[in-house]
Structure formats: C-alpha cells, structure tokens
Structure 1
Amino acid sequence: MAVVGTGALTSQGAGAAALWEGARAGRVAIRPVQHIDMRGLATKLGGEVEGARTAPRGYRRPEGHRERALDLALAAAEEALAALAALPEGTVAPTRFGLVLGTCNAGLLSARAWLDAARRGAAPDPRLPLLATPQALAESVAAAYGLRGPVLAVNTACASGANAIGLGADLVRQGRADAVLAGGTDAFSDVVFAGFNALESLSPEPAAPYSADRQGLSLGEGSGMVLLVSTGFAAAHGLRPLAEVAGYGLSADGYHVTAPHPEGAGAARAIDSALRRSGVAPEDIGYVNGHGTGTPKNDPAESAAIARALGESAAHTPVSSTKSVIGHLLGAAGAVEAIVTAHALDEQLAPPTAGYTRSAPECPLDYVPGAARPLHTDAALSNNFAFAGANAALVLTRPGTHTPPVPDWDRVVVTGVSVLGPAGDGIQAARRALRAGQEAGSLEGGLRLGRVALGDEEIAPYLTRRQRRRMDRLAVLSIVATAKALADAGLSADESVGVVFGTGTGPMEAMEKFVLPLLEEGAAAADPSVFPNTVYNQAAGQVATHLGLRGPTSTLSVGHATGAAAVAYTADLLAAGHADALVCTVTDTLTEQVARAYTATGAASTRPPGAPADGRFTLAEGSVALVMERLSAARARGATVLGEVLGHGMASDASRARLWDPRGRGMELAMRRALADAGLTPRDVGGVWLSAAGLTAADRAESAAVERVFGSDTAPPSHAPKSVLGEPMGVGGALCLALSLWSGDTRPAGPAVVNSSSLGGSHVSLVVAAGDPHGTGDPGGPDNDEGVNQ
C-alpha cells in the first residue's frame, strides 16, 4: 500500500517536514512543559506542541472546551489529505474513503472535565462524553472531512498508531476502501504525567534511548497521519508514494501489565510476522526505527527482540529512536515514527539517536550515535510496543522495489462461544430470556440497568483472589468469558493463538478510581497499581497473560459497533493468515459515571419493569467471547463448527450536523457491502439481527435501511434481541452474532445479517451462516443446555 500523503504536529513544529527535519538533525525538542502543572513530578520536561492550536475544522463541543487530542488529529489529517488537493473532486468517493485512528488516551481531557464536574457536584455538560472515547475522536475527524467509508478506532496503547496503519493498509488491500487516512493522536494531561511519574518511568533529562546513562522516558504529544492508497491508484492518478506499507505484525507478550518480556520474545514474534507478511527477508532490513523509550527494561528487551528476529544481520543494522527528539507520543508514536521511517527510506538517511553517549552491554546494537548516516536499503522496520504486552511492527519499502506475497486466503469459522450477561451465564441463558421476553434490568437510582451477576464461586476456577486484586471488572469478565469460549471450542491456548479485544466505553472503572483522587489531591495521589488499568487494551493484556494467548493481539473501540467491528477484524486477520485461531472477546461494564453519561445524553431508559417503552434503551453490561479459526485449521483438529463468517461491510454517516443519518443510508451501505462481500443477494438471507435496542431515532433509521435493502413484502424475519436483553454497549454485535448461530427450534432458513451501529453513525454489518459449511455436525440445538456449545 502506497503512502502518498503525510501529516504531523509534534514538538518539532507543524508539519511532517518539520518532524523529519528535526529527526534527521537530531534536534531535541524536549523542553520545559508550559501548559501542564508539573509540580510534584520527577521531571519538568516533555515533547510539547507549542502555541495555541485551533483545529482546521470544527466539531461538536461544549462552549469554551477543546479536546486537544482531536485538535492535533485534525491538523495532521488536514496536511495528509492535501496530497489529493490537485485531483478532481470526487476522485475518491466519500463512501470509499476510510479512517483508522489510533489513540492511547482518547479524549482524556473531556473525560477529566466530566469527572471534575461530577466531583464538585456540578452538572457535567452532556456533550463531554461525545468527545471522550476513541471512536468519538475518529468519528469527529471523519465528519470533518466527509469520510463515509469504514471508520474505526484502535486502542492498543503505545502500539496504536502502528496498528492503525496496518489495519488501514488491510482495508485498502482487501478492497474495502480506495483510500484510508490512518494514524494516531494523543495529548498531554496531568493524568498521564501523574501516572508515569507514579511508575517512576520519567527521566529528569531528555530521554537517551539505548544509552548506558539512560534514566527513563520523556513524554510527548502530537499526531501523525498517513494517506494510504493502492500502488495502482497512486500510479493512475500521478501521486508520488513516499514509501509502501509492505506488511505488519502483531503479538502479545502475555507476560506483565507494564514490563516487556525480558528476552523480547513477544516483540520478536511481531517482527517475524511483519517480515513474513511482507515477504522481506531479515537480512534485507537496512534500518530499524526502534521503540526506544529510554527505560531500563524496554530498551534491552527491544534490542534482544531485534537480534532474535533479524539474526546475524542485526549486528550491523542501524537502529535509532525518534523518541529521543520528540518524546513518547503514546498512541501517536507508531504513526509519527512510521512517517520518519518513510522519509528515511526516501532520502536514504538514518536519523540519529539523540542523547546517546555510551554503549551498554544489554543494548549491543548500532544505535546511530551523533549524526545521521547514509543508507543503502529498500526496506525498513518500525517497532512499537505497549502496556499490556501489545506489540506491533511495520515493514516499509521504497516504492516499486518489492511486491508482498499473496496471502493464503481461507474461510473463517466460529468454533466456540461464551456469553456473560444480565440473563445469566451462557448463550442458552440469553436464548431462554429472549424467547420468554424476559426483559433485562432493574431500576437503580431511577435508571434501568442490566448487570452481570458473577459470584466468587463462578470466578474461582479461572482467577484466584490474589490475581483479581489489581484487576477491574472489565478484565475479570473478559478472562472468564475467554476461558469458557476456549473450553467450548476445545482449543488449548499457546503462543500462536491471539486475542482481538473490543470495548465500547473502556476501562472507566479504573479511570474513575485513578483520576478522582488526582483531582482532589494532585499528583501525589496517583496509584501506580491502578494506572496501567486505565488503557483500553489492559483487559486484552490480562487475558493474554492469564490464559497464555500470545498470538496476534489488537484492541478496537468503535462505540456500540465495537462487537461487530472486532469480529470483522478478527475474520480478516484469520482469512489472510495472521494466525490459525483467535479469540474475539468484547466486554463492557457499568460504572456510576458511565450510567450518568448515558442519562445525560438522553439514551438510557428510566422506565420501570413492565412500563411502556420510553424511546430509550435499557443500559446493560456483558462479555461475549468467540473462538474463530481458519476453516482448514478447524478441520485439521476435528473442531465442531458452529458457523461461518461469510462477509462484512462498514460505512459511516460522517455528519457534522447530527450523530446519525435519520434515513439510514450508512446502515444500508454497510448491509449491501456485507452481502456483496459474502457473494449473496438479499433473497439469500434467512434473518436479520437488528442493532435496534429501543432508542427510537436510531431504530427508525435502521428500519428504513432494512426495508430498502430487503423490501417490505419479501423481507426475512427480523430479530431485535437487545430490546429484551438490554443494550450492552460495545458488546451488542458479538451477542447478536452468537444468538444468530442457532436462533430457534429449527435451523435458520439461510445466512443471517447482523447489524451494529455506534451512536455516532458508524455502521458494521456481518453475514453469518449457522452450522458447519461443509459438514453435518449439529452445533447442539437451541435447548441443549447440557451440550458443549453453551
């Protein structure tokens, strides 16, 4: 995939050119931070974006409030999109233009403002939650530029930017978009500084990665975005590629919530995967843009990983760290470092590692000390590793020098299911409640909520009390659900099996627990045992660590469309051969402030049990885990196949004026794309599992879309399980898929369409066939409560 546009805003200044010039010169832009109170911290320094920044496009926000992470992202997006300015308008249709945004902290300043108002007893502005989540930022950028293709948010902490670029390249490569804007963004906050300070990770001087006298990391802020198109599109429209994304790799350490595997085993697997996917040999990598944070544990672990992955050639391959000049940009790091790597290939120049003074025995590679150095290579590697043991590696190549191998495509099936919800433990509990019309939830403080009741005796087989001590409920529910799904599939966890995690609202329990004391007492109140749990992918890391899943890992947060989006990404990773088996786990939990936010936005129901519908939904929590495998792998191990993911489609309403299109055009496009991807027509469909949960305006839009796709007279049966079981936020799409695999007393009449929509107008539609596509195995039937598939 060709990188034809880049945009960046960092402490080096505005623009990708300023970023590259600063990196090439080794000019350190880590200096005293001006707009954050740094009292009580071990450092006063950071890679700060200087000056007041006004976003080039507007977005919905409270009067007087700005979300800095979004302002930074919009500035980088504006620059990257300028690459298309010379082309006729409409060269890329808006419906074929996608966006993948990576972020670690998302709209943390908006979430902080909400929590601060709540702490003071004030009424928080209801528009603040609309800027707090990763998908909220992604949808705001998409709306600003009218991008109506797939719109997704990736949150694999400090690996997010690289993961986003890899996923964006996949969307173009697989024909799901003609162009994708991909990258990352994160902004400074007192919360983040206090957290890293509590972990004793901050350096009092500008970071000196890999050097023997390194003292820790320097934080940075900013955004980096790249514009991706196919090489054929670039050639046809006269666009000059800066570099090409040849491949990427993902892996989980499964080792520790913050520390990397000391031997770099997990990181090496990500690099190996990136090389394999790109078809580039280890000895052909001529430059590595390292993760290079400057911490005592990360630099040796990465050095070991590079040595493991590149073999003998590692000793003479130049490695440098961009973090030495701009700091660690967290979720944006992978994006800005990919931009630097692309420029390094383009100019054939390896930028130096600033601050490097002397070698350390634990870091024995060539870290380009002093000044930039000429290169003679067609391929480079960019590494990013993160909290919760998430690793991502990108292989970039010079344009026209390399053709990646064609993936070994395979069909994708579901072999294990686990459901935890208000109706109880297991898919059968959900099915019984649905058939009986047993509505979820009870009134709590005037709000109708559906909670997961999971007692100590049900958790004990999977986690000890000691293990749970530093976990939140998001992690606990995810571990239990994933373990049950693996048992259902009869699959043993190992380093080849990974986890794709999804969450709509994220780790709000940990966020509230960490932030509220800070607002009261300042940085001294920061709890180092809680801070690592505030990243969205922390539950994925806990799952990987406690269950031994060390294959590819990623975390998506796409609002209420998360479940379906996570299934779609899992299916694409498997189909292309990134792994033979992955667990797709989607979890959301309720906290006081989450419930309050939904109430403030007018989405959550307040009706008592049995009362008439009030045009809003019953807010619920839950966890669904699906074991998904390549069909060939499932066949080889004799697995029982419950169903097949035949295809999927995505689209966005991308509206600056409203949250979703009342005519349902985005949902309609997602369904039509899913059917086309599956090679089916509307008449082939045996049922539609709706996103509808009771929110009148959104449900009407979906209903209109379904009628246009299937017709009013010939439409297949529709199911709206969330209107009974509650709206489990991001879990809904995965729950509906699980229910669709066996939905009644007889086999489904045909494949099912499963719809899912975020409250910001992002839509994902799946096409799923129940049962074994080529066998006669019975997955258990709807009333088989004793069978293995529950």
Structure 2
Amino acid sequence: MSGGTVLVNRPVITAWSAVSPFGIGRAAFTEGIRERRPAAAPLEEERWQAAGDRACLVPDFDLRTVLGKKGVRSMDRVTGLAVTTVARLLDDAPRNRWVATGEDAALVLGTTTGSVQSQMDFTRDSLTGEKPYLVDPARFPNAVMNCAAGQSAIWHQLKGPNTTIAGGHAAGLYALNYARRLLTFGRARTVLCGAVEEFSHARSWLESHAHQPDTEGPAQLPGEGCGLLLVEQRGPDARDGADAPDGAEQPVLAEILAVEMGIALDGGVRPALAACLRRALERAQVRPEEIWAVSTSEAPGPSGEQERAAVAEAAGGADPVHLTQAALIGDTGAAAAAFQIAGVLVHAETTPGAAGRVALVTSVDRDGAVGCALLRLAGPR
C-alpha cells in the first residue's frame, strides 16, 4: 500500500493529547513517560471478571465524572475515551478549538473492532431476552464500529469527514496516512487523527485466547486509552483571521515526512516491514544514518524480533535512540501506534538538539498489518 507522491508542503503535527494509563490529558502522559512510571494496577475482580488480575487502566475513569451526566447514559467506555481525548486536545490551547472545529475539520479514528464488549452485550441480549427479543435500542450504536468517531464529532462540532479505520496495533498509522491524504487532496483543513482502545471483560478474554505463549512468549498486560494528533498543512491558516485567538501562529511539533503501510504474509514481518521502510526513506529523501530515534510496537515473540531486525537493517550503521513504553502502559491495542507517536513527541520536547532530527515509528499487528512513519521533529519549544 503506497503512501503517495513526494510532497513539498508536507502535513505537520501541531498539537496532541492522550487519555492513557498515566491519566487524563497531555500533561499526565508526558509526566508518566518522563518518570518511566509503570501504570499496572490490580483489577477489581467483581467489576471486571477478567482473564487476569492486573491491567493498565486509565485511572479513575468514570464517564459521569469526566463528561458530566448529560448524554452519557448509554455511552460505552471506548466512546467515552475518544470523546474525552478530543475534548482535552481542543481545550489545551485556544488555537486548537479555533482551527479544529467546524465544516472543514475532520476526525479519523483508528480501532480494532470498536467496542467488543458492547457488541457481545447487545448480541447476548438479543438472544437471551424475553420474546419478542427486546433489546435497549439506545445501546445499539455502541455495537457499531464507528460509534466513537461519530459521537466525538457530534459532541465537539467536527463537521468535516468522519472516518473509522480498523487496523489493530497499526490503526494509528493507518489513521495518520488517511489524515495525510485528506489534507493533500483538500478534503479537510485540519484533521484530528488517532486511535482508541478500551479495556473490558470481553477484550481480556479474547486476548487471552488469542495469545499463543508457545510462539509469542509471556503476554503483555492489557492496557487502554486514546491518543490523538492535530494534523494540518504547514503554513498560514486557511481560515479568516478576524476571529483568531491570541497565539494563533502554527506551533509545528513535527513534520510528517512519510507514512507507509504493508501486509506481512505467512508471518513474513521482516521483509514486509523492510519494504515499507525502504519506500518511506526514499519518499522522505532521508538517509538511514539520519534516523535519530526509533519507537517500535514492541510486538512479542518472533514478530517483535523481525520488527527489530527490519529496523536495524533500515538504520544501517546508525545507532538511534530506542524509545519504549509497553512495559509502562501495557498492550494498548489499536491505540498503541498513536501512543508511540506521542512518546516520540515527548522525547523531542525534552531533548536539546532534537530540532530537525528524524524519528521512526513502526508497527506490527498479529493479523499481518505492518507500517511505519517518519517524522522530522521540531524539538524543544
């Protein structure tokens, strides 16, 4: 899957936020990454009835507390995570809400399958309820994969394209590539793009049955959350500046040099990812030795080994900094790649000399999706 032609005016990331196992908001994620603080905690057995006894949950995440009582009666956890993350990003700076809402503001959200818990609950109710098989119609939207993106747009007046992309652990990169295309072809002025994953009873058991300890080694603790980026074309804002807030200059955090996706057939992660990396480096006109920092998906077992081998091959003789976070926030599923990008931005913001350097983000999913993104970092602000 090719990423397109070489772009002179490439899209840029101008803001980001996260609702993660470190807490709610950008500051909480930044603090957790800097402190290298593990987020794992014991699960309440009666509430979750999960396959394990520990997980990396967003702490104290209660919909009524975070979003208020209005409109959340039938909202599920994954939708609440997405709506909250959009709210935090828009509220982080007056400029964010000014440029990222309205008719030309798009939302692209990556997922695995939406809310597995909502799908299973609704299906079970339709089979076990008394005739004529009554179910709660208010809960049906939660069983649809694009519910989180749709509700986020309704809550926050995002009236442009609204897209949900299923891609497992690579969903954040699929979303970033889709956002880049929307901007390149003039379909949106700004794009909020990212990915979301919830922890639930259903997901914990599905993951436990899908994991193959003989080939993948010990399972990572499950995690959850939502990572979101504000992506725009570099340059003057396209909106009329009459109502521009103070500090409306474009605060570039990173330039998106390339995004490449591929499919690994029959477990061939290394050749598939290596091909993506070669295309990305060529399209971005970046030499291997220029790669300064790398964030891999930290996939378990042979897939992770092949991922690291492909990155080492692409980096040539360079010795990039390897950024890790899975040990801190667990396996965050579809949100993983979005959190990887956020982690790279945190590292750049706190590292002297980061300006102008290139970071590589790679992702591998057990179902065969592989991908990478190259970012040129702006460095400390």
Aligned partner (choices 696, 700, 703) of residue 308 of structure 2: 703
2:115 matched residue in structure 1 = 507
Deviation at 1:718, TM superposition (A): 1.3
Alpha-carbon contact 1:634-1:641 (below 8 Å) kept: no
2:125 matched residue in structure 1 = 517
Deviation at 1:443, TM superposition (A): 4.3
1:623 matched residue in structure 2 = 226
Alpha-carbon contact 2:33-2:343 (below 8 Å) kept: no
Provide closer, same or farther for how the CA distance between residues 573 and 409 of structure 1 changes in structure 2, counting only shifts above 3 A: farther
- The within-5 A match list for 1:170-249 is 174=4
Instruction: Please state if 1:530 is matched with 2:139.
Output: yes
1:596 matched residue in structure 2 = 205
Question: Aligned partners of 1:648, 1:422: CA distance in 2, in Å?
Answer: 27
Deviation at 1:734, TM superposition (A): 0.9
Provide closer, same or farther for how the CA distance between residues 584 and 547 of structure 1 changes in structure 2, counting only shifts above 3 A: same
Question: Aligned partners of 2:112, 2:13: CA distance in 1, in Å?
Answer: 22
Instruction: Please state if 1:641 is matched with 2:246.
Output: no
Deviation at 1:527, TM superposition (A): 2.1
Provide closer, same or farther for how the CA distance between residues 702 and 523 of structure 1 changes in structure 2, counting only shifts above 3 A: farther
Deviation at 1:523, TM superposition (A): 5.5
Alpha-carbon contact 1:434-1:725 (below 8 Å) kept: no
Instruction: Please state if 1:494 is matched with 2:97.
Output: no
Alpha-carbon contact 1:486-1:627 (below 8 Å) kept: no
- Secondary structure of 1:706's partner? helix
Alpha-carbon contact 1:581-1:627 (below 8 Å) kept: yes
Q: Which amino acid aligns with 2:90?
A: L
Provide closer, same or farther for how the CA distance between residues 633 and 574 of structure 1 changes in structure 2, counting only shifts above 3 A: farther
Deviations along 1:66-92, whole A, 9 cap, x unmatched?
Answer: xxxxxxxxxxxxxxxxxxxxxxxxxxx
Aligned partner (choices 649, 673, 678) of residue 279 of structure 2: 673
- The within-5 A match list for 1:148-187 is 150=1, 174=4
Question: Aligned partners of 1:747, 1:579: CA distance in 2, in Å?
Answer: 33
Alpha-carbon contact 2:21-2:225 (below 8 Å) kept: yes
Provide closer, same or farther for how the CA distance between residues 498 and 459 of structure 1 changes in structure 2, counting only shifts above 3 A: farther
Which of the two has higher C-alpha Rg?
A: 1
Deviation at 1:575, TM superposition (A): 2.1
Provide closer, same or farther for how the CA distance between residues 525 and 670 of structure 1 changes in structure 2, counting only shifts above 3 A: same
Instruction: Please state if 1:741 is matched with 2:349.
Output: no
TM-score normalised by structure 1 residue count: 0.43
**Percent identity of paired positions between Structure 1 and Structure 2:** 26
Question: Aligned partners of 1:717, 1:585: CA distance in 2, in Å?
Answer: 24
- Secondary structure of 2:149's partner? helix
2:243 matched residue in structure 1 = none
Aligned partner (choices 365, 369, 374) of residue 767 of structure 1: 374
Deviation at 1:519, TM superposition (A): 2.3
Number of aligned residue pairs: 356
Aligned partner (choices 74, 80, 87) of residue 476 of structure 1: 80
Question: Aligned partners of 1:553, 1:627: CA distance in 2, in Å?
Answer: 14
Question: Aligned partners of 1:752, 1:634: CA distance in 2, in Å?
Answer: 26
- Secondary structure of 2:178's partner? helix
- Higher normalized helix content (fraction of residues): 2
Structure 1: state its 5+ residue gaps.
1-149, 151-170, 177-407, 605-612, 773-777, 780-790
Q: Which amino acid aligns with 2:206?
A: A
Deviation at 1:717, TM superposition (A): 1.5
1:727 matched residue in structure 2 = 331
Instruction: Please state if 1:692 is matched with 2:298.
Output: yes
Deviation at 1:526, TM superposition (A): 2.5
Question: Aligned partners of 1:725, 1:635: CA distance in 2, in Å?
Answer: 38
Aligned partner (choices 134, 158, 181) of residue 572 of structure 1: 181
Q: Which amino acid aligns with 2:120?
A: E
Alpha-carbon contact 2:354-2:378 (below 8 Å) kept: no
Question: Aligned partners of 1:431, 1:661: CA distance in 2, in Å?
Answer: 35
Deviations along 1:246-276, whole A, 9 cap, x unmatched?
Answer: xxxxxxxxxxxxxxxxxxxxxxxxxxxxxxx
Question: Aligned partners of 1:679, 1:576: CA distance in 2, in Å?
Answer: 22
Structure 2: state its 5+ residue gaps.
44-49, 240-247
Question: Aligned partners of 1:457, 1:554: CA distance in 2, in Å?
Answer: 23
Question: Aligned partners of 2:9, 2:145: CA distance in 1, in Å?
Answer: 30
Q: Which amino acid aligns with 1:601?
A: A
Question: Aligned partners of 1:485, 1:726: CA distance in 2, in Å?
Answer: 23
Provide closer, same or farther for how the CA distance between residues 703 and 598 of structure 1 changes in structure 2, counting only shifts above 3 A: same
- Secondary structure of 1:498's partner? strand
Q: Which amino acid aligns with 2:253?
A: L
